[in-house]
Amino acid sequence: MRVLVVEDERRMAAALRRGLQAEGFVVDLAHDGEDGLHAARHGEYDVMVLDIMLPRISGYNVCKQLRAEENWVPILMLSAKDGEYDMADGLDLGADDYLTKPFSYVVLVARLRALLRRGAHRRPSVLRAGDLALDPARRRVTRGETPVELTPREFALLEFLIRHHDEVVSKTEILEHVWDTFDTDPNVVEVYVGYLRRKIDVPFSRNALQTVRGAGYRLAGDGG
């Protein structure tokens, strides 16, 4: 398995290379964000270890740029920044895991192997259906360039629908995932679908949020 390690502390980078090679990995090194971004774009890597505090381009921006380009190489962020918001930022930008320094080498290898088992599946940080975009981290929805203001419940409903775009989802499924209950009157789903449709479709003369009679609802993947 081929690993790209992007780490500006050269002694640590060399130690990581030796250790991972001993585990059977093929390891390439980059010592700043720009070189790491170039390597990730042009190399065929199975997994990437990415420091955050890098010269030229930060690890956050490397991760953000790769995901924007639909490069889904699994990324383990490695950083001395151990705050919960630092970790949340890394994961929200598209990283798959986050490990703080100092770290256990055994745990690092185990986490890399776990990422390799999952593979490089598509997992964008911004969800899209045509020109309808939802950013879960920033709690932001836009239709083209126009911001769309949603209540928390409307946002949760749209997030569920856009994650399952082009699929028919029933009222029961929506209640389970958006309301986290089966006890709520199913008609509340119909009410909130109406609210949502009046915000994401009607002002834009679109028909993305569709009712499938007798089955549930479907959000068109092309944005309607």
CA 28 to chain centre: 25
Q: Which of 5-9, 29-33, 97-101, 131-135 has the lowest mean pLDDT?
A: 97-101
What is the per-residue pLDDT for 164? 87
What is the per-residue pLDDT for 5? 95
CA distance 189 to 61: 38
CA distance 49 to 4: 6
For the ranges 71-80, 173-182, 210-219, the maximum mean pLDDT occurs at: 210-219
Binned at pLDDT 50, 70 and 90, residue 177 comes out as confident
Q: What is the mean pLDDT of the chain?
A: 87
What is the per-residue pLDDT for 122? 61
State mean pLDDT over 173-184: 73
Q: Give me the half-sphere count of Cα atoms (radius 13 Å) on the Cβ side of residue 165.
A: 17
State mean pLDDT over 54-58: 92
CA neighbor of 101 nearest in space, from 65, 76, 118, 67: 76
Tokens for 23?
């585990």
pLDDT at 1 over 80: no
What is the per-residue pLDDT for 135? 86
State mean pLDDT over 191-199: 94
The 3-class SS string of the chain reads: CEEEEECCCHHHHHHHHHHHHHCCCEEEEECCHHHHHHHHHHCCCCEEEEECCCCCCCHHHHHHHHHHCCCCCCEEEEECCCCHHHHHHHHHCCCCEEEECCCCHHHHHHHHHHHHHHCCCCCCCCEEECCEEEECCCCEEEECCEECCCCHHHHHHHHHHHHCCCCCECHHHHHHHHHCCCCCCCHHHHHHHHHHHHHHCHHHCCCCEEEECCCEEEECCCCC
* Cβ–Cβ < 8 Å for 96, 75: yes
Percent of the chain clearing pLDDT 90 (strictly above): 45
What is the per-residue pLDDT for 182? 57
Binned at pLDDT 50, 70 and 90, residue 216 comes out as very high
Question: Cα separations (Å) of 103 from 113, 129, 177?
Answer: 16, 39, 35
CA distance 145 to 143: 6
pLDDT at 114 over 90: no
State mean pLDDT over 192-200: 94
Binned at pLDDT 50, 70 and 90, residue 121 comes out as low
pLDDT at 46 over 90: no
What is the per-residue pLDDT for 181? 58
CA distance 113 to 47: 9
Tokens for 221?
């993947």
What is the per-residue pLDDT for 119? 66
Cis omega (within 30 of 0) for bond into 136 = no
pLDDT at 120 over 70: no
Binned at pLDDT 50, 70 and 90, residue 168 comes out as very high
